[in-house]
Amino acid sequence: MAERRITNIVIDFGGVIAPASMEQVKSRFREIGVKNIEEYLDVITQRGFIGDFESGTIGTEEFISKISEIAGQEVTHERSAYACQGFFLPIPQRNLDILTRLRSEGYALSLLSNTNPLVAEWTLSDSFDGKGHPLSHYFDRIYLSYAIKAMKPDPKAFMNMLEGEGVEPERILFIDDGERNIEAASKLGINTLKVTNGEDWTVLVEPRLKELNGCGDQEGTGR
């Protein structure tokens, strides 16, 4: 059997593993008093104090303080987490099953996600999958924007990931639902698979891997 070209698979969280809902997260922020939430939320990269939180520029206490200031009332840690976690819809079991399958096939799996500590309180807890496993149970390595101090599509986020993976870019398949993120990864020579938020992307992975593992020295297209 010919040696695989792809050895490492790096996957986004929101919009890929967990379907995302901008309407739900906006509704939750309005519910806790942040009426102008549209100024800060974006499908790919957040802005303002939310962007600062996800890039690690500010910590949880300062973030909650800013929410309370905007809301004009004290907002608790729990309510702040409720709002932040509202970005995600229930995770289809198939999205977790494919992670287990890919690792069993010998691929190294990593997560690269724009996120914040209040979301991580859920994803990295034993209650994440309802079976006593945190998100880290499904991955070899995890790169979170607030921890690495860089958000996709900033090349710094991808360079941090590449350093951690320890393989050449052409050995990696990166799966994301954001066009800007896909373009940024492609510019660094990383093979990509662009998926759509909410679709069953699990059926797209095997064909893309077969294409890449059988394509010799052809560069990834980013499409």
Backbone phi, psi, residue 199, to 5°: -80, 165
Domain 8-19+91-213 identical in fold to domain 22-87: no
**pLDDT confidence of residue 214:** 87
* Fold designation for 22-87: DNA polymerase; domain 1 (1.10.150)
d(CA 114, CA 128): 17
Under a CB-based contact definition with an 8 Å cutoff, are residues 101 and 8 in contact? no
- pLDDT of amino acid 47: 82
What span, in angstroms and rounded, lies between the C-alpha atoms of 111 and 41? 22
Type of residue at 176: D
First-to-last C-alpha distance (Å) of the chain: 27
Q: What CATH number matches the domain at 8-19+91-213, 3.40.50.10300, 3.30.413.10, 3.40.225.10, 3.40.50.1000? A: 3.40.50.1000
**Mean pLDDT (10-residue bins), the chain, 223 residues:** 86 97 96 92 78 96 97 97 97 98 98 98 97 98 98 97 98 97 98 96 97 63 33
Residue 107 sits at the vertex; the CA angle it makes with 216 and 118, to the nearest 5 degrees, is 125
Q: Which residues contact 170 (CB under 8 A, 6 or more apart)?
A: 5, 189, 190, 191, 219, 220
Specify the pLDDT at position 220.
39
Q: What is the residue type of 63? A: F
Each domain of the chain, given as residue ranges in start order, spans 8-19+91-213, 22-87
Structure confidence at residue 85 (pLDDT):
97
For residue 3, the model assigns a pLDDT of: 81
What pLDDT is recorded for position 31? 97
